[in-house]
Structure 1
């Protein structure tokens, strides 16, 4: 225990060592959770996280972690977040805003697109990138599966090709508004300097 404020449900910072082949019961993060994997591989129903991985679970998220034979050590912070982070329902599924910068136009969100539903283009004209976390997306005649990536250049969003979720839906990381002409020029200059 590095720090603790409270009783059973406490704001805490702790080093946790999981014994090989151990597991922790399913639980809800009432105040969010963030952890850094120090040694071994931490696993839950969302993935496997090797040493050096930083994970931030929003308020209200649930998981049931376990470790395999290598054991695992993490530094975990609980109840550290001050604001509620929850997805909002939309016509095509659910969206969770992750980052928004009104001065640059950059916006990042996690989208859960229901099966067969179309992910509408962003309201910004500064380009768009889509990374498929789970499920699949269909664009034109191509199917993009887990870890697939699509990038649309800056333009009128009405010109963007239709993007539709596959039969099992899709969880999609979407970043948009960051591919403006100015940003692309700066990127090219920085690459030349390096």
Structure 2
């Protein structure tokens, strides 16, 4: 399966354009934002668990990155409410479930084989945030392959970056972003190819977004 697989092209998916499809696991639906492969894939998705839904224990050969957007996500006996960021390294396994139901942003098969340790960050904790040039930033992960963070902008704040060596990806979690004559609403996912710039302005106060910058050489292959 190939969905938005040409990484030389810019892609924008608005919340109004979400196309929900059932996964093989009952009670779990997803919006496929990009995908290379079948059920074992290099993929980026919005994933929705209905209440009282669980997955059997399984392994992710290429790792899994999860941002909890709403509800409560659980792994085994540990619970992660909205705002938690998780990275499960290549070869790790887990048994995910949700008692209350949850909405997740999930990236599969996109981690370097050098990642060895799981990562858990509570982005609701003020101690995890810092101010840079008037913008609040919560660093999530940094490596030779990628830089991941959350950013919180006030109305009129500018998010500008020079041409990107490996491209970038945005998920607008709250608020709005103005880009030229366009306004991106909450829920929008934007993938920006290498060589293009970031030029956005916050359209609302308390605009919150996930930002990943990738560097040349990032793994794009699907999981085996």
Q: TM-score, with normalisation over the residues of structure 2?
A: 0.44
Q: Structure 1 or 2: larger strand share?
A: 2
Compare the two structures and name the one with the higher helix fraction.
1
TM-score norm. by structure 1 comes to: 0.49
Higher relative contact order (CA 8 A, sep 6+): 2
Based on CA coordinates, which of the two structures has the bigger radius of gyration?
Answer: 1
